[in-house]
Amino acid sequence: MRRLNSTNGAALLIALMAMMLITVLATALMLTTITETKIASNYGAGIEAFYASDAGIERAIDDLRTIPDWRGLAGKAVTSTFVDGPPEGARVLWDGTTLDLGEETRIVREGDSSPWRLFAYGAVGGLLPPGRLTSRAYVVVWVVDPPKAPFRPDEEALGLLAQAYGPQGVRRSMRTVLAREPIKDSKRIFVVSWHEGP
Chain segment 16-70, per-residue pLDDT in tens: 999 999 999 999 999 999 999 989 988 888 888 999 999 999 999 999 988 888 8
Model confidence, pTM? 0.79
How many CB atoms are located within 10 Å of the residue 50 CB? 18
How many CB atoms are located within 10 Å of the residue 154 CB? 8
Express each pLDDT in 96-131 by its tens digit.
888 999 999 899 888 777 888 999 999 988 777 777
Q: Which residues contact 85 (CB under 8 A, 6 or more apart)?
A: 91
Q: Which residues contact 97 (CB under 8 A, 6 or more apart)?
A: 169
For residues 98 and 89, the answer to whether their CB atoms sit within 8 Å is: no
Domain residue spans of the chain? 19-196
Indicate the DSSP class of residue 118.
Answer: E
